[in-house]
Structure 1
Amino acid sequence: MTLTTTGARRRRSCPRYLFSTGCDMTRFPVRRLLALALASSLSLSAMAQTAEPFTVADIRIDGLQRIAAGTVFTYLPVERGEVLDQGRAGETVRALYRTGFFEDVRVDRQGDILVITVTERPAINKLTLTGNKDIKSEDLLRGLKDIGLSEGETFDRLALDRVTQELTRQYNNRGKYNVQITPTVSPLDRNRVDVTIDVKEGKAAKIRHVNLVGADTFDNEQILDSWESKESSWLSWYRRDDQYSKEKLSGDMEKLNSWYLDRGYVDFNIDSTQVSISPDKREMYLSTSVTEGEIYKISEIKVTGDTILPQDVVERMVIPKAGDTFSRVLLEASADAITNTLSNIGYAFARVNPVPTPNRADRTVAINLQVMPGPRVNVRRIVFKGNSRTADEVLRREMRQFENSWYSQAAIDRSTVRLRRLGYFETVEVETPQVPGSGDQVDVVFNVKETTSGSFVFGIGYSQLAGMTASIQLSQNNFLGGGNRVSVEAQRSDYLQRYAFSYVNPFFTDEGVSLGYNVWWRELDYSDFNTAQYNSTNAAVQTVLGLPITEHSSVSLLFGIDSNQIQAWSGYTPQSIVDYLDAVGQRTFHAWRTELGWARDTRNDFFMPTRGTYQRLGLETTLPGSTAEYYKINYEFSRYWQLSPAFVLRTGLDLGYGDSYGSDTVRNLCYTPPSLVDTDGDGKADTWVPGDAPSSPCLPDSSDYRKTVSASGLPFFENFYAGGTRSVRGFRDNTLGPRSEVIAGYRGQALGGSLKTVGQLEMVFPKLFDSNAARVSAFVDFGNVFNGVDEFDTGELRASAGVALLWRAPVGPISISYAYPFKKKEGDEIERLQFTFGGGF
C-alpha cells in the first residue's frame, strides 16, 4: 500500500496556529479552525493583559513530561536578553505548535521571566491492526510510519484522520465500497495511548454487466475477452476478474484502445466511461461509449536515425510493409526487435520512436521509425544481494554477462534464468542502475531470496510385520553454500537395511564439467515396494561425469561396478523368477555398468516453471562379461505452456524399454517335486513341502521330473514399474502391469515389465497461493507397464484424474495428491490419497 506523505510535517503543524504561511486552510473543517483560533487567543491572554514589551531575563518551561527542555529551547525564536513584545510572543507560540509535540501552548510573564506552559501530545504505546486481509499488515504499518503514525511516535489525531481516508480510498479501488475503518484511541498512564484500527473489509462489489456502446464492427465478447474487468462467471472465484478496480478499468481502456489501433482504426476514440453502483454497493455496472472511425493503410514506412547496424539489416526487422493495414502492435514489435538487438551489443538505453503521419483524405498513414541508440554501455560491476548462505562464486559462475564488457540484455536475461534454475532461490530479481557521474556505465545487481535447497527426512515406527523401523535421509543441493550436492541416507528395520552416499560437484572444472560419486549398500529381506517377494543384497560404486555441450544441453557418462545377490523360495517367489535364477545357475549377479545420457533443459525455473521444456534420454547397459548382459533405454519429456498468468499447462511423458543383448541361457534341470505331507495326524496330506534344489544332469531312472528353464530378456530385478505418486496416481505404488500366478492362496505379485508408457496432463494454478513455495494442480495420469513391445495394448492402459498440492516446505518438498481412477480393471489396487515427503517435484 502506498500512502501519500508529501508535506506531512507542514500540514500537521498548520492547524495549531492561524498566522503561518504555506498552510492549505481548505483541508480543515470550519469547526477545527474555530477551535484553533480560540486556542491561539487563549494562549495569548496573559500577554494581552500586559501589552508592554519587556526584556527576558530568564525562560521557564512548565508541563514537560517526555520531551527534554533542551529540545524545546532549540525551537524557541526568543532568547535571554531579547525584548519580547506581542508579535514575538505570537511567533513563539506558533513555533512550538509547529513542532507537533504539543496540544496546547500558553505564554505568561512572571516579572522579567518568560513562562511557557505546554501540554504534550501523548506518545503511541501500541499500534494494532485488525480485520485487514486484502492489504497485508506489514504494508499498512509501513505506510502508517511514513505518515508519522507508529509506535513510539507522538500521536497526531489529524494523521489518524488521514489514514482513515486513505484506507477507505485503497479499499474502494479494490472494489470494496462497504469497507468500514474504525480507529480507537485508548488513553494510558504517563501520557500514552494505544491506537487500534479495526477494518471491516466487507465483500467486493461484483461486475454484473459491461456494455460497449458504438462498438459495431466486432463482437463485444471478442473485445472483452482480454479485459481484466469481466462479468461474473463460474471461474470468477479463482480469477477474481469480476471485482471492480479503478486501476483494472484504466488498463482495460488501454486494451480497448489497442484493440482498435492494432486493426487499423487510427481515429478510434473513447468518448466516455461510466461506472455505476447498486444502492447496496454490491454490484457494479460499466458502460463505455466509443467512436470506431475508419481503417487506415500504411502508405510508407522507413527507418531513420543512427541505426548503428547496417540500414538494410535494421529494415529487415520491420514487420509491417507499405500497403498493409496499420497495426500498432506490429510497430511496437518492430521497435522492440530493433531495441533488443541494439541492447544486446551494448546500447542499453536504445530507443525506437515510431512517428505516424496520418492522411485522413485517403485513409493512409506514413510511418517513420526514429532510432536513438544512445551511448554504448559497459558493465562496471556485477553485484549479488541476499545470498547469505550461498557463496558469490556459485552465482558468478552462472553469469553470461561479464564485468568490464559491453552490456547485453540477452546475456543478463539468460543469467537470471540460470540462477532461478539452480533451485537455491525463491525469487531472483535484477536491476541495472547507472553508475553516478557516468553515462556509459551501469552496474548489474541481482537481488535473490534464498530458500530451502535440500531436505531432511527422519522417521521411526513399529508394526507387527516390520518391527521397529528407523530411517534418516539428508540431502543438500547447496552443501555449505558451495553449490555441491550431497546426500546421505540410512534406513534400518526388520526387513530392510540401506546405506547410501552421493556427491556431485557441478563445476569440477571452470568449463562446467561435473563429477560425482555414488556408493550404496542394501539388504532387503523381502520387497517393501508392493512387488514380487524375494531377498536381495545390493552394493554399488559409481562415478558420473557431466559435460555441457550447449547453453541448454549436456551429456553425462556413468561407469560403475555393482553386485546383486538374490534369494528366492519355491512356493513364495513367483515361478518365473525362480526359473530365471535356475537358468542362470547362480544367485549373485555381478555387473560392469555404464550409462550414457543426454539432457536438454529450457525451463525458466527449477521448482515452479511456467514455460520451457525438459528432455532426458538415457542408455544404460551392462558390459560384456557381466553375469547378465542387457540394456535399458529411458526417455523423459516435460513441457510447460503458460496459457495465462493464472493457468500453466504441463504435458509429460515417461517411456522406458529394456532387453538382453546376449544369447538366451537355456538349461534342462531335474527337480525333486514338492509334496503334500500330513502334519496334523488326521491322515490327510495338508502341507506342501518344497522339493530338493534342481540338479543337472538328471540321473538315469530318476523319479525327479525334468524341466527346461531359460533366462532371456530384461532381468526381473531391472523391470520398470508403474502406479503411484510418480507415475499413475490413484493406484498403489508399483502395482500396475503383469502379475505372477496365485501363490499360497494369495493374489499374484506385481512383476513389472520391460516396457513402460506413462503420461500426464496437468493444469497448474500458480496464483492460487501468494507464496512461490506452493502450488495446486489438477491432473490426468495414464500409463502401464508391459512384457515387451509385442504385449503393448492401449486397452490395458490405466488412467486417473485428481488434484495435487506441491509445497516446498522447510524440511524439503512435500507432495499430496487425491486421485480418482476412471479407467481401471478388477483386481487393480486403488490408493486415492497419496503423499511423499522429501522427494523432488
Structure 2
Amino acid sequence: MLLASASSSVLAEESFTVQDIQVEGLQRVALGAALNNLPFNVGDTVTEYSLSRSIRTLYSAGHFDDIKVFRDGNTVIYRLRERPTINSIVFDGNKDIKEEQLKDSLAGNRVEVGEPLDKTILKSIENGLTEFYHGVGKYQAKVEIEVTYLPRNRVNLKIKFEEGDAASIRQINIVGNKLFSDEELLRDIESKQDLPWWRFLSSDRYQKQTLQGDIEKITSYYLDRGYLRFNIDSSQVSVSPDKESVYVTLNVTEGEQYKINGVKFVGDLIGQDEFISRIVPLKNGDLYNGALVTYTEETIAKLLARFGYANSKVRTIPQINDDTKEVELTISVDPGKRVYVRRISMSGNANTQDEVLRRELRQMEGAWLSNDALELSKQRIQRLPYVESIEFQTTPVAGVDDLVDVNFTVKEQPSGSFNAGISYGNYMGLSFQIGVQQESFLGSGNSAGISLSTNKYQKSVSLTYTDPYFTLDGVSLGGQVFYSDIDYSSASSNLEAYNQRRYGFGANIGYPINEYNRLNFGANYVVNKINSINEYDQLRHFRAVLLDAQNPDGGYNFTNYELTAGWVRSTLNRGLFPTAGHYLGASIKVTTPNSDLTFFKTAFEGRNYIPLSDDHSWSFLTKLELGYGNGYGNKNGYDYTLPFTENYYAGGQNLRGFESRIIGPRAIFRYAQQVPGLPELGSGGGSFPADPDSDNYSVSQRSIGGNAMAVLTMELITPTPFLSDEYRNSVRTSLFVDAGNVWDTEFDIDRYAGLTQRFTGQNQPALADYSDPSLIRATAGVSLQWISPMGPLTFSLAKIIKKYEGDLQENFSFNIGTTF
C-alpha cells in the first residue's frame, strides 16, 4: 500500500494540464500549421514523455532545423529555428550530366527552389553524384555543395563539379576460357581496351553500365553455341593509383555443349497449336541456342498479341541432363485474358483534326488489342507528310483487367510548303520559281495548292485540290486547273527556243487495293499553242502532221484529251525523310484517238531505303527513274511521235551537278547548199538549193530532251554533324552518286552521215548519237535537306564524274519544295 501511494504521487508530479502553448521563432511557417503538428491541445493532460514525442512530431514535418521545449508552470513554450528556404540552385562545371537531369534528381529529394533546405541530405547528394561519376569512369571527380545564407532565412545552393578525365580501360583479361580466345570474345563488345592514337573515333573510356552489357554479350556468345552451363564466376575492376586507368578481369567457367532433346508446350495455345509448332525453330538434335530460345518466346508472344492477348507470359523451362549433355525444353504459355480497347485518344495534333488521323487507324475501339494493328496504324499516320513522328501508349483501365485505353502522341511538322527554287550555274545564271502547297488544308488532311512560277523564261499558275478520303473506304478525288506561258528563247532555260501557251483542267480518282497498293485514274483536257519556234531538223514529223500548209507562220495549235492510269505501292515508314521501306510507282498517260496528237508516255519510280543502324540514323537509298514515250498512228503518211513538249529531261534536281535540263539530245539545224542561178535570168542569176546530200548542219548548245530517260541514284544517309537527336527527323545529310541519261529512240544519226558540220569550235558541241542510251553522265556530292517552316529546303554540292561535250555544270544548287 505504501509503494502504490508513492507511485501515484510521482505520476501526479510528472503530468500536468496544459493551460497555454506558446511558439517562438516562426518566420515562414504559419502558427496554425505548427500547432496542427502537436499531438496535444490546450486543456489536455501531458507528461514529459508527451513533450518529447511532440519534438519528434515537429521534426517530421520537415520545416525546422532545431526544436526546444520549455515548461513555465502549466504553459508549454516551443523555441523553433526554421529551415532556410532555397532561393536558387546553380550548377557549375557539369558536362556529363545535363542540368535538366540534375534538377529532376534534386526534386526527387525535395531540393528545389522554394522548398525548405534539409542540410542532412546534402552529403548524401554529394556522395550520390560522385558515385555516378565513378560509374562512368571518372574516378577523379569531386562534387561539393556550397551553401550561402541570405537575409530572411534564405539560402543559395551552388553545386560545384570537378569532373576530371575519364579513366581508360587499359586491359580486359578473361581467365578460364579455353574454347574461345580473348580476341573472339572481345571482338563485338562495346568496351575497348588500350586503343592506339589513330583510332580517335573510338573510345576506351570505362563505364560501369557498358561493362555490364558486355558481360551479358559474352554470356550470350556461349549460350548461343550450346554452352548451357557457362558462368562468369566473378568480375573485378581495379583502378590504377593515378585513377587514370582501369583493369578488368573476368573469371569464367565454360562447361560443355548441350543438345536439344525434345521441345514441348504446356498451357493454353489458344487453338494455334499446329501453327506454333511449325514456326518454332528449335529442333531435336540441334545445339542449344539461347538466341533462338529468346526468339521463340518473343514470336509466340507476338502471335498471341495479334489475337488480343497483350499480357501473355511465355517462358522456357530447361530440364538439363548433365550425364547425356542434353536439355529438354518446356515452353510454358499463359495467354492471360484477352484485352480489348475501350478508348483511343489523340494528343499533340494542334493543327490536324482528329478525324484526319483516326481514319488511318487499323486498331478499332471495342475490338481486341492487336500489336500488329497498332503498329500498322502508327505506320500509316507516320506516312502523312504533315506528321514528323508518332508514338502510342496503352494504359490499363483502373479496376478492370481486360480493358485498356490507347493514346497516340503526334509530333506535327509544317504541312505547307513554300515551293521555290534558286540555283546558279556558269551558263544558266540565276533562276527562281515560287509556289505554295498545303498538304493538310486547314487541318482537314485535304491537299490544296497554288503554284506560281516566274523566271526568265516562264510564267505559270496552277490550282490543285485533292480529298484523299472522298469516301469512307479511302477513295480519293481531286482536280486541277492550270495555265502557263513559257518563252524558251531565254538562255537560262537550256532548251531550244520556242513560245508555248498551255492551259486546261483535269480530274483524278484513286482506289486503295490494300494497305500498301493503290490505283489512280485521271482525265485531262489540254490546249497547246506554240509559236516562234526554231525549226530544227528533229521537228520534221511534228511539222508534217500539225503545220497548216496554207499558213506556215501560224504556229502549232493542238488540243489533246488525256487519260492517265497509275499504280503506287508504298511501305515507307515515314511520309517525309523515310529511313526504311520501299516505294514503287508506275504510270501511263495516253491521248485519245480524237486528239490532235496521239501518243503515250510512261514513267516508273522506285525507291528503296535500307536502314544500316538500329536507330535508323544511317540508311542507304537506291532510287531509279525510268521514262519512255512515243506516238501511235499516222497522218498523211507520217508516223506520230512524242511531242517535243512532252520530252523527258535530266539535270538539276534529278542529276545534281549539271545545269537544269541540259542532259540529252541537242537540236540539229540543217542548211541546204545554194547553187547559183543561170546568168541569162538576170543580174546575179539567183540561187537554188543543191542536192540534199550536200547539206551542212549545226548543233545547238541547248537541249530538246528525249523520249526515253533513265536516272539512278545511290545515297548514303548519315547523321547530321553537330545536330541533336531532337532535329533528326527534320534535317537530313547524305552522300550521293547520280548517274543517268536522256536519249531519243527515233533519232537516226545516219541521216547526217557524209554531211559537213557548218560551225565547229568551242561554242558548238560535236554531233553525237542521241539514240545511244549508254552516254551516261555521273556526279557525286553531298546534300543537306531541312524541313523548314517554309517547306523542304535542299542544298546540294556536287562534282561531275562523267560528262560529254556541251554539258554545263552546276556545282552548287539550292531548292525549296523537293525531298526524297
TM-score range, shorter chain: 0.7 to 0.9
Equivalent position to 1:625, from 594, 613, 622: 594
| Aligned counterpart, 2:208 | 246
Deviation, 1:256, is: 1.8
SS at match of 1:788: coil
Deviating 4+ runs (over 6 angstroms): 51-54, 233-238, 458-462, 465-471, 742-747
Equivalent position to 1:305, from 262, 267, 270: 267
Task: Assess if the C-alpha contact under 8 Å between 2:420 and 2:815 holds in 1.
Answer: no
Instruction: Give the 3 Å change call, closer, same or farther, for CA 412–566 of structure 1 in structure 2.
Output: same
Task: Output one character per residue of 1:450-508: Cα deviation in whole Å (capped at 9) or x when no partner.
Answer: 3322224689999xx99999975332222222221122233456754322221111111
TM-score (norm 2): 0.81
Deviation, 1:399, is: 1.8
Instruction: Give the 3 Å change call, closer, same or farther, for CA 794–658 of structure 1 in structure 2.
Output: closer
Q: Give the partner amino acid of 2:645.
A: F
| Aligned counterpart, 1:603 | 572
Deviation, 1:199, is: 4.7
Q: Give the partner amino acid of 1:558.
A: G
Q: Distance in 1 between matches of 2:55 and 2:319?
A: 63
Deviation, 1:416, is: 1.8
Deviation, 1:720, is: 1.7
Task: Assess if the C-alpha contact under 8 Å between 2:793 and 2:815 holds in 1.
Answer: yes
Instruction: Give the 3 Å change call, closer, same or farther, for CA 775–357 of structure 1 in structure 2.
Output: same
Q: Distance in 1 between matches of 2:773 and 2:175?
A: 54
SS at match of 2:357: helix
Q: Give the partner amino acid of 1:783.
A: G
Q: Distance in 2 between matches of 1:811 and 1:803?
A: 22
Task: Assess if the C-alpha contact under 8 Å between 2:572 and 2:581 holds in 1.
Answer: yes
| Aligned counterpart, 2:237 | 275
1:535 aligned to 2:499?
A: yes
Between 245-254 and 519-528, report the one with greater CA deviation.
519-528
Instruction: Give the 3 Å change call, closer, same or farther, for CA 469–372 of structure 1 in structure 2.
Output: closer
Q: Distance in 2 between matches of 1:309 and 1:343?
A: 14
Task: Assess if the C-alpha contact under 8 Å between 1:584 and 1:665 holds in 2.
Answer: no
Deviation, 1:649, is: 1.8
Between 297-306 and 73-82, report the one with greater CA deviation.
73-82
For structure 2, the residue ranges without an aligned partner over 5 or more in a row are 1-12, 548-554, 671-696, 748-769
Q: Distance in 1 between matches of 2:415 and 2:556?
A: 41
Task: Assess if the C-alpha contact under 8 Å between 2:423 and 2:815 holds in 1.
Answer: no
The number of aligned residues is: 743
Equivalent position to 2:737, from 780, 799, 818: 780
Equivalent position to 1:66, from 28, 41, 54: 28
Task: Assess if the C-alpha contact under 8 Å between 2:416 and 2:440 holds in 1.
Answer: yes
1:818 aligned to 2:746?
A: no
SS at match of 1:335: helix
| Aligned counterpart, 2:658 | 731
Deviation, 1:797, is: 1.8
SS at match of 1:401: coil
Instruction: Give the 3 Å change call, closer, same or farther, for CA 255–154 of structure 1 in structure 2.
Output: same
| Aligned counterpart, 2:514 | 550
List aligned pairs for 1:312-323, cutoff 5 A: 312-323=274-285
Instruction: Give the 3 Å change call, closer, same or farther, for CA 733–110 of structure 1 in structure 2.
Output: farther
| Aligned counterpart, 1:655 | 626
Q: Distance in 1 between matches of 2:430 and 2:191?
A: 59
Deviation, 1:163, is: 3.7
1:713 aligned to 2:668?
A: no
Deviation, 1:770, is: 0.8
| Aligned counterpart, 2:560 | 591
Task: Output one character per residue of 1:540-566: Cα deviation in whole Å (capped at 9) or x when no partner.
Answer: 312111111122111111211122323
Deviation, 1:510, is: 0.8
Q: Distance in 2 between matches of 1:220 and 1:631?
A: 66
| Aligned counterpart, 1:419 | 381
Task: Assess if the C-alpha contact under 8 Å between 2:659 and 2:810 holds in 1.
Answer: yes
Q: Give the partner amino acid of 2:665.
A: P
Task: Assess if the C-alpha contact under 8 Å between 1:741 and 1:748 holds in 2.
Answer: no
Q: Distance in 1 between matches of 2:70 and 2:494?
A: 94
SS at match of 1:332: helix
Deviation, 1:515, is: 0.8
Instruction: Give the 3 Å change call, closer, same or farther, for CA 371–105 of structure 1 in structure 2.
Output: closer
1:516 aligned to 2:472?
A: no
Deviation, 1:648, is: 1.9
| Aligned counterpart, 2:8 | none
Q: Give the partner amino acid of 1:736.
A: I
Equivalent position to 1:764, from 701, 717, 732: 717
List aligned pairs for 1:117-156, cutoff 5 A: 117-129=79-91, 132-156=94-118
Q: Distance in 2 between matches of 1:309 and 1:54?
A: 77
Q: Distance in 2 between matches of 1:735 and 1:469?
A: 14
1:641 aligned to 2:603?
A: no
Instruction: Give the 3 Å change call, closer, same or farther, for CA 458–779 of structure 1 in structure 2.
Output: closer
SS at match of 1:722: coil
Deviation, 1:304, is: 2.7
Between 465-474 and 57-66, report the one with greater CA deviation.
465-474
Q: Give the partner amino acid of 1:388.
A: A
Deviation, 1:784, is: 2.3
SS at match of 1:831: coil
TM-score (norm 1): 0.79
Q: Distance in 1 between matches of 2:802 and 2:96?
A: 42
SS at match of 1:433: strand
SS at match of 2:378: helix
List aligned pairs for 1:19-30, cutoff 5 A: none
Equivalent position to 1:722, from 650, 672, 690: 650
Instruction: Give the 3 Å change call, closer, same or farther, for CA 274–337 of structure 1 in structure 2.
Output: same
Q: Give the partner amino acid of 2:707.
A: S
Task: Output one character per residue of 1:304-335: Cα deviation in whole Å (capped at 9) or x when no partner.
Answer: 32222254333222222211222222233333
| Aligned counterpart, 2:253 | 291
Identity %: 38
